[in-house]
Amino acid sequence: MSFWDASAVIPLCIREPGLSDEMWGLMREQSLVVAWWGTPVELASVLMQQVRLGTITLEAAQRAMDVVEKLRDAWAEIVASRGCYFRALHVTRHHELPVASVMQLAAALTWVKPRPPDKYAFVSLDPKLREAAALEGFRILPEKLPPVRRYVPGSAGPLRTIT
Would 122 be classed as within a structural domain? yes
Please tell me whether residue 139 adopts helix, strand or coil conformation.
strand
Would 148 be classed as within a structural domain? no
Average pLDDT over residues 128-148: 92
Would 22 be classed as within a structural domain? yes
Would 147 be classed as within a structural domain? no
Would 157 be classed as within a structural domain? no
Q: Cα–Cα distances in Å, from 149 out to 17, 35, 69, 162?
A: 10, 21, 23, 6
Residue 3, pLDDT > 70, answer yes
pLDDT band at 149 (very low <50, low <70, confident <90, very high): low
pLDDT band at 158 (very low <50, low <70, confident <90, very high): very low
| 124 backbone dihedrals φ, ψ, rounded to 5° | -155, 150
Average pLDDT over residues 31-52: 95
- Find the CATH number of the domain harbouring 123: 3.40.50.1010
Would 65 be classed as within a structural domain? yes
Half-sphere exposure of 84 (CA within 13 A, CB side): 16
Integer Cα distance of 91 and 78 in angstroms? 16
Would 155 be classed as within a structural domain? no
> Minimum mean pLDDT among 2-16, 51-65, 141-155: which range?
141-155
- How many domains does the chain divide into? 1
pLDDT band at 163 (very low <50, low <70, confident <90, very high): very low
Integer Cα distance of 75 and 4 in angstroms? 9
The range of the structural domain enclosing residue 111 comes to 2-141
Please provide the DSSP assignment of 44-66 as one string: HHHHHHHHHHTSS-HHHHHHHHH
Would 163 be classed as within a structural domain? no
87-114 pLDDT per residue, tens: 999 999 999 999 999 999 999 999 999 8
pLDDT of residue 148: 59
